[in-house]
Structure 1
């Protein structure tokens, strides 16, 4: 029985809920993967934490740190299960959502589906009043019109309101006053204001972000309150921190007010883990591959930092076409996510082609093999049919696997297609693996990077099982599988800093920059961010990163330039010009002499200091590992049935090696070593999979 302080992380996914228990020195001592309970996600989380505490003989009072990530916010936006939202903009600007960018995302598609932006024109309202771009009041807020506005909101049935007034990033007074006046008349209304949610220029993106926040705010506030209450009743006394899309943690109170920051928070934990593994291994160029039960996520990591962005899209009408979804402008770790997971449903389309995803069987009913009533063939059913999942060890034996049901579902799916069960199962795997590899290639091309030179770090419940098959198609030749990969995102939560980032617009040109005003502007943002971080890390040493978003005059997009963490002085201006032009040349191969340089946005990120990752010690070869047994699998390299060695990962020792085909089994997942790959174990216990013929 352990008596030391413990930290716990809970990651609620679409299919499974992952739980990790870690000691104060960073050692993972227990993990659990339990089915997600969609009707009440807290129930599945409670089961997971009870399981890990029972495994080590600890009680709830030992938990001194609790980090939570959830897909609930993401799924509510994708599945449109949020509140009934109305918007309020300036008089004359009712149609911001209708006009959008004034362009089609696919010029020649006559059947184009316009993105669903949640608020129809009938629930778009306006009020008189106006600020200019410098934050000066041009027209006072029309407070006499608030009664009529409140009546219109009540009549529309709105449960939440998104207020987005022009230039509120420069002066939020009108938005704040309007919010207070409406709450006095409609006290039960959930109101989001753009100056809190996304205080940046570009009103369409800002309004969309505020609408999305308002849409999920009632749902998430209720969920987070229930979650905190349920764990407090069990005996948890420490604050519960929430994982954010930007790769940091924040308080549950901040998350309830700004739930849009929780979108894609689970995958962010996986990217944090991959970055740490990359640093331990000295891998400077990495592809993070996280495949779960519902989706697969891929992220590029350079110099141990995940690629980040300030904008992404939700619920795209066309999966790979930019502009076909709802834009959201928040700090986020940039990754590509596709509907390809263990629960992804396979079918044959009207042209006789195998299609997989994006629809998923989820945890209820789940794949046919789970025996919960699922009738559709899924990726997991295909893996079981190919012998790549051992039924007795799946999900630590908590789920009984029916291999016959998996085969029957595949046969039903491909009835009349002229394929045997093995052929159909292999076809499902080939389609889903190519989809994931194709997504990775496209993501790399969009970022101007090459996948071939990268090392893949694979985790998630299905990542290690599909890693070699995806890597082969993506041209990647080395793969790292960390310890406890099946709950990788939850492990990543425990390495994330408590952090908060603010991006705010303040237009200036470099030649006319008001240095004193800018320093005061930064001081205000730093104080705001520190107040959020201190609530979750009251004693931690904090770090601050300042950034400017710069461009040449007349351009539509900015380049991110890191600033020194101190007050700026007049002599810094020449250095800022040099930094911008150097980065511009790196991206576009030239600079533009004599052109005016503008700064549109400024950002501050305050974070608690992270412990250094250190490097893995060199491991001497320790001979070939001895398999526990052998089993028949369908080998995708030879396209025949053949025997594969079976290993228990817990018995593998640093320096040992093995040759594929092989299955390395552990509590929450299985690593499949294809016939054209070999594997070794490093000093951390990480599996290193290497393609045949690879030379460093």
Structure 2
């Protein structure tokens, strides 16, 4: 029976490497599901999942008011090099910047160092005669003959997309615009991206690479989004569709189609927003967000209920965790550590006869061996099944029947028979390896940010996150973690919590000893107008929140630090105020300020977002009685190296105040929470599981 009562109905959709997660919020009531990702036509999994949650809610497809979507498709296209045939046009003399990179050796003593190949091959890179200096002054006017010659080469080459990146175009993009106009006049159906719009930031390698990435994925992402909109309308979903971007805000499909590089890491950003929302409700100031899905695990620091952000990041690293070994993308992003360690990550034995996990994943096709869909390699999910963490008859709410025999065979074939271990020992080794990899990444990430990890509360979600959280906390010395309701589809729920928001970032060097406050005001005004232009559709409920950040350094330094700007406008006294703000932040980062050096602003950021609704703090709750399990099963506990009888509890049957003591497994449709014998869980008033050490 369909309930046609008018209520606010919002749907979040997250396409992951293994599962597509769907979350429907109907007036505060949550309905969710997980569907295996369809790599051939990703929109098919979305349609299947949307139909499922609508049926659960008892409403019609036409009752959906808004759909918010995040996807890894852009990331996967870059990693797997499955993009459009793309040309790159740059300033004469800079054709090889993409190959030369920054000349930094990220692995100093590796004689066989492997650099990621340039996204655009040399034969597809073209040059024109032009030159602009770092202040934006034209040193060499754009040579029309060289432009015409390049346009003809692009026409003859049959390119689908073109990236344009000129030296110092971040401060003056007139030449890029002129070349784009010339290309579109001759080839109106070719997709064109220019660096002064995609990433107007200094450092040409990062900027060139970003505009090339945007052009490379643009045709495929636009085609996918067009198909998605049509497919949704065909089944009766006529609501507006918005996209989550890597910085954690919502933008329109049209803007996402124009700047698809902004969608890279959009799914993980939703997870960080989800964790930040839980932190707000529980008043937590220091949170470690842990999101473990089918393909990867993501760790993010959330302080003062705000995820940590950055203006650059890397994809497709050739060395798993080595900074500098990947493809740099200079766009605003929620900063996190991503590890190739999900439920589908494949376990193997290396040349030293040691177990290794990932980064390759069985994904959804063919999937882990236990899925019985053609996968033959052992995965983390297979190990979890062998060790009793998963119920083979009730995985994904019974939608997927798991085969313990298939898992044991895969574990024996690829690991046990090679290093003389039985399937249980091989599974134990696999889980310990993946847990140690994740724990090490979390420790390093917090240390790099000058934090003590033991002071943090972990908020865990994703299909595999709650399964591994207790063991991670044991390894990292964390005493408390939270498992929110709907944790299995946390990123999709995070999309529903995200504000409409966009961050404009530009490079423009201003020296404080000769600070031109009028020019600085003009720059801020244009950036504010740009940011507001991306979010104007989501500002019905109030004035936007505007955040201003300066990226500053001492003159001559190679890197900069973020400084929050307190004033809306600059005046003649602003240079002194900004100096004081910078010195305070520099002292916080490095211990003391430096006297006698000039200070400069290198880059500027304006973030416009719709205001977050106020939240009510979840009241604390007294512990009630310890719930006795309705059934038990053998569960391997790594810290003891032995199987124990663990209680099995249905999460839906628990009520606020109920206490579950480990060893136990708390099961729900999209995930399960494993408690080792050193932890207990107390159900909170909002349904969260607060897990603490006994």
1:539 and 1:453 mapped to 2: Cα distance? 37
Residues 2-34 of structure 1 show CA distances to partners (whole Å, capped at 9, x for unaligned) of 42230000001010010001024xx24210111
Cα distance, 1:417 vs structure 2: 2.3
Could you tell me the TM-score, scaled by structure 1's length?
0.97
Q: Which residue in the other structure is 1:10 paired with?
A: 13
Name the stretch that deviates more: 72-81 or 278-287: 278-287
Match of 2:343 in 1: 342
Counterpart of 2:374 in structure 1 is 373
The 8 Å contact of residues 439 and 472 in structure 2, kept in 1 or not, is answered as yes
**TM-superposed deviation, 1:637:** 2.8
SS in 1 for 2:417: coil
Q: Which residue of 1 aligns with 2:33?
A: 32
User: Whole-Å Cα distance in 2 between the matches of residues 685 and 98 of structure 1?
Assistant: 52
**Matching of residue 105 in structure 1 with residue 106 in structure 2:** yes
User: Equivalent residue for 2:239?
Assistant: 238
Which position in structure 2 is the counterpart of 1:450?
452
**Structure 2 unaligned residues grouped into runs of 5+:** none
CA distance in 2, matches of 1:539, 1:238: 18
**Contact preservation (8 Å) 2:26, 2:57:** no
The corresponding residue for 1:568 is 570
Any idea what the Cα deviations from partners look like across 1:398-434, whole Å, max 9, x if unmatched?
1121222112211212224221121111111111111
Tell me if the contact between 1:291 and 1:340 (Cα under 8 Å) persists in the aligned partners: yes
Question: Does the C-alpha gap of structure 1 residues 320 and 416 become closer, same or farther in structure 2, counting only changes over 3 Å?
Answer: closer
**Cα deviation digits, residues 301-338 of structure 1 (max 9, x gap):** 11111111011111111122211111110000000101
Alpha-carbon shift at residue 614 of structure 1 (Å): 2.6
Which among 531, 535, 538 is matched to residue 537 of structure 2?
535
C-alpha displacement of 1:621: 2.0
For residues 47 and 603 of structure 1, the distance between their equivalents in structure 2, rounded to whole angstroms, comes to: 40
Where in structure 2 are the equivalents of 1:453-468 lying within 5 Å? 453-468=455-470
Q: Which SS does the other structure have where 2:300 is aligned?
A: strand
Deviations along 1:35-63, whole A, 9 cap, x unmatched?
Answer: 11111100001111000000111012211
Match of 2:63 in 1: 62
Q: How does 1:247-258 map to 2 (within 5 A)?
A: 247-258=248-259
C-alpha deviation, 1:118, in angstroms: 0.8
Shift of 1:438: 1.0
Distance in 2 separating the partners of 1:614 and 1:274: 16
SS at match of 2:52: helix
Mean alpha-carbon deviation: is it higher for 458-467 or for 397-406? 397-406
Cα distance in 2, alignment partners of residues 416 and 14 from structure 1: 29
Residue in structure 2 matched with residue 43 of structure 1 by the alignment: 44
Query: What secondary structure is seen at the aligned counterpart in 2 of 1:337?
Result: strand
Residue 498 in structure 1 maps to residue 497 in structure 2: no
The aligned residue for residue 426 of structure 2 is: 424
Q: Deviations over 1:127-147 (max 9, x none)?
A: 012222222222221122222
**Contact residue 197 and residue 210 of structure 1 kept, 8 A:** yes
Q: Give the Cα–Cα distance (whole angstroms) in 2 for the partners of residues 540 and 228 of structure 1.
A: 28
Give me the whole-angstrom Cα distance separating, in 2, the residues matched to 1:107 and 1:581.
33
Q: Contact 1:8–1:66 (CA<8 Å) still a contact in 2?
A: yes
* SS of residue paired to 1:641: strand
C-alpha distance in 2 between matches for 1:491 and 1:28: 12
Helix, strand or coil at the partner of 2:112: coil
Aligned position for 1:658: 660
Q: Aligned partners of 1:43, 1:474: CA distance in 2, in Å?
A: 40
SS of residue matched to 1:188: coil
In the alignment, the residues of structure 2 paired with residue 84 and residue 31 of structure 1 have an alpha-carbon distance, to the nearest angstrom, of: 38
For residue 163 of structure 1, what is the aligned residue in structure 2?
A: 164
Gaps of 5+ in 1: none
2:74 matched to 1:83?
Answer: no
Contact 1:9 1:491 survives alignment (8 Å): yes
Verify: 1:603 aligned to 2:636, yes or no. no
Contact 2:321 2:339 in 1 (8 A): no
Whole-angstrom CA distance in 2 between matches of 1:589 and 1:201: 28
CA distance in 1, matches of 2:542, 2:372: 48
1:245 and 1:263 in contact (8 A); partners too: yes
Deviation by residue 1:511-534 (Cα, 9 ceiling, x = unmatched): 212112211221111112111101
Cα RMSD of the aligned pairs, angstroms, is 1.4
Please say if 1:274 is aligned against 2:283.
no
CA contact (8 A) 1:20 1:28 kept: no
Single out whichever of 392-401 and 192-201 deviates more from structure 2: 392-401
Matches within 5 A, 1:183-194: 183-194=184-195
Match of 1:475 in 2: 477
Offset of 1:226 from its aligned partner?
0.7
> Partner of 2:96 in structure 1?
95
Query: Aligned equivalents of 1:128 and 1:637: distance in 2?
Result: 65
Offset from partner CA, 1:622-648 (integer Å, 9 cap, x none): 211221211112222322222100101
Quote the residue 1:288 is aligned against. 289
Question: Per-residue deviation at 1:175?
Answer: 0.5
Counterpart contact for 1:6–1:62, Cα < 8 Å: yes
2:106 and 2:370 map into 1 onto residues whose CA distance is 40
- Match for residue 382 of structure 1? 383
Say if 2:246 and 2:333, in contact at 8 Å, map to a contact too. yes
Which deviates the most, 129-138 or 447-456? 129-138
Q: Equivalent residue of 2:59, what SS?
A: coil
- Once the 2 structures are TM-superposed, how far is the Cα of residue 217 of structure 1 from its aligned partner? 0.7
SS in 2 for 1:578: helix
Q: Once the two structures are superposed, what CA deviation does each residue of 1:198-223 show, in whole Å capped at 9, x if it has no partner?
A: 00111111101111111111111111
1:515 maps to 517
Task: Give the Cα separation in 1 of the matches to 2:120 and 2:452.
Answer: 40
CA contact (8 A) 2:13 2:23 kept: yes
Counterpart contact for 2:290–2:458, Cα < 8 Å: yes
| Separation in structure 2 between the aligned mates of residue 195 and residue 161 of structure 1, nearest angstrom | 14
Bigger Cα displacement from structure 2, 123-132 vs 475-484? 123-132
Q: Structure 1: how far apart are the matches of 2:609 and 2:333?
A: 15
d(CA) in 2 for partners of 1:71 and 1:412? 32
* 1:247/1:332 contact within 8 Å kept: yes
Aligned with 1:372: secondary structure? Answer: coil
Please name the residue that 2:219 is paired with: 218
CA shift digits 1:64-98 (9 cap, x unpaired) = 11100011011111111112222111112222123
For residues 29 and 75 of structure 2, the distance between their equivalents in structure 1, rounded to whole angstroms, comes to 28
Is residue 524 of structure 1 aligned with residue 526 of structure 2?
yes
**How many residues get paired?**
690
> CA separation in 2, counterparts of 1:416 and 1:668?
34
State the SS of the aligned residue for 1:494.
helix
SS in 2 for 1:163: strand
Alpha-carbon offset, residue 376 of structure 1 = 1.0
CA distance in structure 1 between the aligned counterparts of 2:632 and 2:253, rounded to whole angstroms: 48
Distance, in Å, in 2 between the alignment partners of 1:121 and 1:365 is 35
Deviations 1:558-592 (A, max 9, x none): 11111135222222322211110000000111101
Match of 1:358 in 2: 359
CA distance in 2, matches of 1:56, 1:116: 48
SS of 2:453's partner is coil
Aligned position for 1:644:
646
The 8 Å contact of residues 270 and 492 in structure 2, kept in 1 or not, is answered as yes
Deviation at 1:157, TM superposition (A): 4.5
Task: Select the residue among 21, 29, 38 that pairs with 2:24.
Answer: 21
SS at match of 2:644: strand
Shift of residue 267, structure 1, vs aligned partner: 0.4
**Counterpart contact for 2:23–2:493, Cα < 8 Å:** yes
Asked whether 1:672 is paired with 2:674, we answer yes
| Cα offsets for 1:445-483 (capped at 9, x unmatched) | 222222111111110000000101111112211111011
SS of 2:680 mapped into structure 1: strand
Contact 1:549 1:599 in 2 (8 A): yes
Report the alpha carbon displacement of residue 156 of structure 1 after superposing the two structures with TM. Answer: 4.1
> Partners in 1 of 2:567 and 2:45 — Cα distance?
43
**Which one is further off, 41-50 or 501-510?**
501-510
Say whether the 8 Å CA contact 2:538–2:610 is kept in structure 1: no
Q: Is the 8 A contact 2:79 2:315 kept in 1?
A: yes
